[in-house]
């Protein structure tokens, strides 16, 4: 049993009323894959370093959210909303005829996974959440001011886009784009890792050789994020019940504040032997710059809750009785194998 290859994929386009959702289906395409959803302003390239560490018996379908990567932008005059993004999950399920879904999300994608799982827990068999659970809250006065500013900036962006048909957007050298992306992520994505995101969100300039401009929808920068009150968040967690739920937090990240999420996570973990939480050294994009450490926990979780199809009853029994101690050993062994594999790349 090996690991996935970044070269073994099929590009997909999932039709939508506003255009299409772009994606890449890595590995096994004969069974239901894990649906992987990236974070705000990112694209499916965010999983590039994690994909080659995952087991190859199960495929992974990574998608670009609307307005991101190579997916279609929504119509002029509309705005992006985190709750609206949640509807992407059942749309993908309907396209492929899935009755169940396995979810892996980072940041906005992780928030989508939590919201969807609370709404339709009977359709979800496991969740992998990377450095996000709920929208980060702030004082209500600040929320109103922030929303007012975003509304104004969204309208300015709409006016700018109307003029783009006449004038090409500002373009930059590739090195400049790497630095801009790093700055925009508050250095969570280093310039060296920026390449994993840039190849799906820039377009070559027609005016200046060797220069590029961002092709994602500028309106996504001002998307609406719902504020979820503590009581509502806890009720959502109760609906999820004993669902297999893995949460990985970046140690240097502010996007999974334990003081705000403690109650919700406590409910998720209550009487739930399938709940796991780990903190990995790193920033918000911990799955990108610390992929091996994240895989140390993700791979055993996948193997336990989406095991390979077994033909031997004795092997099936062994898989079912796999203890937590044995899983820890599996994690250590896998980490060592993955490091050896990556050294050969």
Q: Which of 101, 40, 100 lies closest to 66 in space, CA to CA? A: 40
Q: Considering 22, 71, 72, 107, which one is annotated as catalytic?
A: 107
d(CA 167, CA 186): 29
Task: Reply yes or no on whether 269 is catalytic.
Answer: no
Q: Which three-class secondary structure state does DSSP give residue 128? A: strand
> Which distant-in-sequence residues (6+ apart) come within 8 Å of 53 by Cβ?
3, 4, 291, 292, 295, 298, 299, 338, 341, 342
d(CA 199, CA 108): 20
Structure tokens at 17: 């009323």
Report the interhelical angle of 258-269 vs 230-240 (nearest 10°). 30
Neighbours of 168 (CB within 10 A): 14
CB 58 within 8 A of CB 34: yes
d(CA 160, CA 162): 5
End-to-end CA distance of the chain: 18
CA angle, residues 317, 321, 325, in degrees to nearest 5: 145
d(CA 339, CA 335): 6
Structure tokens at 60: 């992974």
d(CA 216, CA 89): 20
Q: Which three-class secondary structure state does DSSP give residue 3? A: strand
Catalytic residue positions, numbered: 107
């Amino acid at each position: 049993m090996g690991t996935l290859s970044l070269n073994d994929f099929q590009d997909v386009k999932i039709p939508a009323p506003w255009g299409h959702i772009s994606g890449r289906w890595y590995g096994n395409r004969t069974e239901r894959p894990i649906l992987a959803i990236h974070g705000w302003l990112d694209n499916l390239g965010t999983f590039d370093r994690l994909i080659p560490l995952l087991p190859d018996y199960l495929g992974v379908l990574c998608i670009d959210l609307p307005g991101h990567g190579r997916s279609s932008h929504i119509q002029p005059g509309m705005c992006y909303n985190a709750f609206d993004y949640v509807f992407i999950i059942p749309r993908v399920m309907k396209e492929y005829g899935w009755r169940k879904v396995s979810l892996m999300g980072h940041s906005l994608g992780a928030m989508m996974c939590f919201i969807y799982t609370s709404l339709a827990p009977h359709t979800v068999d496991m969740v992998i959440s990377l450095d996000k659970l709920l929208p980060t809250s702030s004082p209500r006065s600040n929320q109103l001011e922030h929303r007012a500013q975003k509304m104004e900036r969204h309208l300015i962006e709409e006016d700018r886009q109307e003029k783009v048909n006449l004038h090409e957007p500002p373009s930059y050298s590739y090195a400049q784009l790497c630095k801009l992306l790093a700055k925009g992520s508050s250095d969570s994505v280093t310039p060296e890792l920026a390449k994993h995101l840039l190849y799906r969100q820039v377009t070559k300039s027609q005016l200046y050789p060797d220069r590029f401009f961002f092709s994602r929808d500028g309106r996504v920068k001002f998307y609406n994020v719902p504020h979820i009150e503590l009581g509502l968040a806890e009720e959502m967690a109760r609906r999820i019940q004993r669902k297999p739920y893995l949460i990985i937090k970046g140690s240097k990240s502010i996007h999974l504040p334990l003081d705000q999420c403690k109650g919700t996570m406590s409910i998720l973990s209550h009487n739930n032997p399938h709940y796991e939480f780990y903190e990995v050294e790193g920033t918000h994009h911990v799955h990108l710059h610390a992929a091996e450490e994240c895989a140390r926990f993700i791979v055993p979780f996948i193997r336990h809750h989406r095991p390979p199809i077994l033909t031997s009853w004795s092997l099936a029994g062994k898989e079912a009785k796999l203890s937590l101690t044995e899983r820890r050993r599996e994690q250590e062994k896998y980490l060592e194998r993955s490091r050896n594999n990556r050294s050969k790349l």
